[in-house]
Structure 1
Amino acid sequence: MMPMISCSRGDGGSKQVTISISPKNEIILIGDELQYTAVVTGLSDQRVSWSATGGEIDENGLYRATELGTFDVIATSKADPTKTAKTKVYVVAVKAFDEIKAWQGSITWKYNVSWSDADEISAYNHLYQEDITLEYRLDEQEIYDKWYRHPDSSIEVSGSLHYLDEQAPGGKFYLETKWNGQFTFVPESRAKSDYLEINEETGTYSFYLRDQSINPSPIITRYYDSGEEVENWKNWGYGAVLIENQPLPLVGTTLSGTKVEKLIYYPSWGPQDGKETELTITWKFTPVE
């Protein structure tokens, strides 16, 4: 885990003092304990005093989750009390999954592949990269073990992508899509097809996220001839995402994980043999009110 660092202003030529706390932004169950440590740089005196806005923490940094909520854990230098650092602790209750009313979270996928090929007409270069995150809420529970995204609920898209198919050498003709940013959309389909399913009997859960086509979208594909743009398309979409039969957590109710699968990408032009690459999918969903 990466420590959380707080930097304080120096006065004149004085040495910069920082305090780092570990661990950072932890989720723990009510009644559990968590040991915190702090490192002070810029001072020879490493002693800190501990405090928390909820729960209890002793002089050695041992935190006890005595109440539910989100709280700050604060370390203050004893040598210079103006120097502090803090992090969050999230105290949650032990809860049966069928008592959860809604989930909020994200799914991210990444891949990066490039290659060259040729046919009887020309040689070609290809590049396909995506690092895309979808954030959404699942709050329609029609049956006890499934939570759906409401048809009117938006999906937030963020990240970056770059697709390039060019005629080589020289790249006289090429097709390019390049984007980095964030936007929100509501799918046109009214179907309740994005959902989470939990099977407590088998101890597993699955996410099903349907494919989407967004038109118009801020992600634009452009066609170039001799360096001049001659045409563009403002439609973009993504394929269905299936995260199936993942083990339920032994502690808590946060659903998170990573999986890697094979993906074959086919270029927009040139030989249609395709190129295999690895697709990495990560996700994290937590219960919300």
Structure 2
Amino acid sequence: MIEENLGYHNFRIELPNGFEEVFTHFYFAENRSGEAITKTLLPSYQTILVFSFGEKPYLVSKHGTRLEVNKYLLLGPIKQAFEYTLPANTEILIVNFKDDAFYRIFGKVGVSEHLPIGPEDLVHGDYLGMLWYELSKMEDTHTRVNYVLKFSEPYLTNRNKIAAQLASVREQPLNPIKSVAYQNNQSERNMQLQHKKHFGYSAKEHIRYLRFLKAVVSIQSMASSTSKIDWLQIVADCGYYDQSQLIKDFKHYINLSPTQYLNFQQEICNPIS
């Protein structure tokens, strides 16, 4: 558990066996400090479901758009950083969907087509509203997590074959589109459309994001062991052409330079940590 301010608590909740293909983790935070606390969330290329209990937290995009979380909010895939604020007496539980899991459970909605989604968007058949209501009656965070896991169980076996194949090779040093297209005797164009449909972004976007994420990890690792960052080493290790390309990616994802990110790490929530 991390306690940065008196009355502010946040922690990551790992998953039991059997749910690794559906979620990466759950995240809990509460603010009992008496004052509003603002953080920045790094892009994760995941779809997230935010449940709110108590006062309403709100999000602010880089364009200045403000969204209040009234009971719950679906967001994603998270492709760029945004700020979120927890007023005093706020409590949130965040569900982080993995790969195509959001599409598997809420596929009729359409990945990234109608997000964000709040309670006012689901007047009829508001299953998320009903889920929030049940969670709101519980006081223990782990009890809430177990309830969400039980809710998701019927969807564990409902996975598209091609989406599963794409997910299995996305982290490997090969072209997932070309590889899976060959396995299924389909065109690469059709496979690109399948990737976008099930994950909410293209394979090319994901490759770029993984390179950025590798740079973030490398910077954090180097910063913990030395007082000076070897930026040329970061560029070489992470597959960038030059330092300007590294800076461009940081500006694109979090609107900060690598140096600025290094200076503001404490205010940034990293989805991989």
State if a TM-score over 0.5 links the two structures: no
TM-score of the pair, normalised by structure 2: 0.23
TM-score of the pair, normalised by structure 1: 0.22
Bigger CA radius of gyration: 1
Q: Which has the higher helix share?
A: 2
The higher-RCO structure (CA 8 Å, 6+ apart) is: 2
